[in-house]
Amino acid sequence: MATTTTAPAPSSTGGTHPATRSAQQVSADASGVVGSDQLSNAALRTFLHGLPGVDAVGLAGRAAQLGSRSIKTTAKAWGLDTVISMIDLTTLEGADTPGKVRSLVAKALTPQPGDASCPRPAAVCVYGDRVQIAKEALGGAPIAVAAVATGFPAGRAGTAARLADTQDAVDAGADEIDMVIDRGAFLAGDYRKVYDDIVAVREVCQSRAEPAHLKVILETGELATNDNVRRASWLAMLAGADFIKTSTGKVSPAATLPVTVLMLEAVRDFLAATGVQVGVKPAGGIRSAKDALKYLVAVNEVAGEAWLDPEFFRFGASSLLNDVLLQRLKLTSGVYSGTDYVTID
């Protein structure tokens, strides 16, 4: 966890960690990139619509090519462990009982009983009102608690309600906040509203002595075009996102490899433009270890090795962990394992 410091702290690559910037720095960085002090709707539109268009066929081809690598033996073992350490183990159901949250935490604490070398997931991801339960169950274990907020998953609530939702989660001790952008405003072209919204939520996250990291969910399945995904990525990063996240998992299609490649290009370019390294979190629809390894390849090839770190890349998933554990068992024992040997979630 990064702590508040007066000067921006460099991350491992030399890029600044986004959570360490003050609101003024965020705003100054945004003005610098957009080329306007006002950051008016017109200025944002000029900038966002001036971003190069996305070649959809080329993007799909690039993603397919990245997905065709063969990863075996020791590289696979490393990849599987890295995937586990990047998972935000998630339960986001209306039916989340305290018991279900506690069992999720137990799974995060000991993903593979009997194998102490198995890494733990980076975080557990729950609804805001379950943060306290998750925190208590975790004790002092070094696993973050992420909370979805701002009227997740639709985000169709008034600003006050969205901020109060965030404040609740921050007060309950959430280490990370997963907010949703106002897709309605974004699609209507009201970029300034989306920007202000993210800035306001960031302010709530930063209001604590140890600020909560902010992940901004774009819900790419509702943005309709790749160009919109690129614009939304930039808009979220300009407004001070620590992570840009593909989806809520409640809308289909959720995370896809092409969309993730597109967002990785955006964070790479943002680092070049501002010196700030933003993370990426694909969420929803990644169920197999094989798919997850394809994402790791994409991270390495598109954004770079600096992103192969739970601080800058996460998987939002629930069933993925079990499949990775089965693959891990296969690697260590040499025989195919079965679902009888992992927990039922």
Partner 1 sequence: MSSTTTPRLDVRKTYKLFVGGKFPRSESGRTYEITTAEGTFAANAALASRKDARDAVRAARAAQPGWAGATAYNRGQVLYRVAELLEGRRAQFVGDVAAGEGVSAKKAEELVSAAIDRWVWYAGWTDKVAQVAGNANPVAGPYFNLSVPEPTGVVAVLAPQASSLLGLVSVLAPVLVSGNSVVVLSSQDRPLPAVTLSEVLATSDVPGGVVNVLTGRTAEVAPHLAAHMDVNAIDLAGALGADGITWGELEADAAENLKRVRRPAGETEGDWLDTQSLEAILAFTETKTVWHPKGM
The catalytic site residues sit at 178, 245, 281
CA distance 188 to 64: 32
Cβ closer to partner 1: 69 or 250? 69
Q: Is 340 in the site for partner 1 (CB under 8 A)?
A: yes
Q: How far is the CB of 338 from partner 1 (least distance, A)?
A: 2
Q: How far is the CB of 80 from partner 1 (least distance, A)?
A: 16
CA dihedral for 110, 133, 136, 121, sign (positive or negative): positive
Residue 316 one-letter amino acid: G
218: left (phi over 0), alpha (psi -120 to 50) or beta: alpha
Q: Report the site for partner 1 in 90-119 (rule: CB under 8 A).
A: none
Cβ closer to partner 1: 146 or 289? 289
Quick one: CA torsion of 5, 215, 229, 24, rounded to 10 degrees?
A: -30
- Using CB under 8 A, pick the residue from 338, 343, 344, 345 that binds partner 1: 338
| Strand order across the beta sheet in which 213-217 lies | 279-281, 243-245, 213-217, 176-180, 144-149, 123-127, 87-90, 315-317
DSSP 81-117: HHHHHTEEEE---TT--HHHHHHHHHHHH-SSTT-TT
Number of residues that bind partner 1 (CB under 8 A): 9
Q: Is 335 in the site for partner 1 (CB under 8 A)?
A: yes
- Using CB under 8 A, pick the residue from 162, 336, 344, 345 that binds partner 1: 336
The interface region with partner 1, picked from 27-35, 152-160, 164-172, 330-338 by CB under 8 A, is 330-338
Q: Is 339 in the site for partner 1 (CB under 8 A)?
A: yes
Cβ closer to partner 1: 78 or 341? 341
The interface region with partner 1, picked from 38-46, 149-157, 307-315, 333-341 by CB under 8 A, is 333-341
- Using CB under 8 A, pick the residue from 341, 343, 344, 345 that binds partner 1: 341
Q: How far is the CB of 325 from partner 1 (least distance, A)?
A: 13
Cβ closer to partner 1: 232 or 329? 329
Binding mask 281-320 for partner 1 (x = CB under 8 A): ----------------------------------------
Reference 327, options 9, 73, 24; nearest CA is 73
Q: Which H/E stretch holds residue 204? A: helix 191-206
Cβ closer to partner 1: 117 or 340? 340
CA distance 132 to 130: 6
Residue with tokens 């696993």, as numbered in its chain: 143
CA distance 230 to 50: 11
Q: Is 337 in the site for partner 1 (CB under 8 A)?
A: yes
SS percent in the chain: helix, strand, coil, step 5: 50, 10, 40
Q: Is 344 in the site for partner 1 (CB under 8 A)?
A: no
Q: Residue 281 pairs with which residues in a beta bridge?
A: 245
CA distance 244 to 18: 12
Q: How far is the CB of 341 from partner 1 (least distance, A)?
A: 6
Cβ closer to partner 1: 6 or 336? 336
Q: How far is the CB of 335 from partner 1 (least distance, A)?
A: 4
Cβ closer to partner 1: 103 or 337? 337
Binding residues (CB under 8 A) for partner 1: these are: 329, 334-341
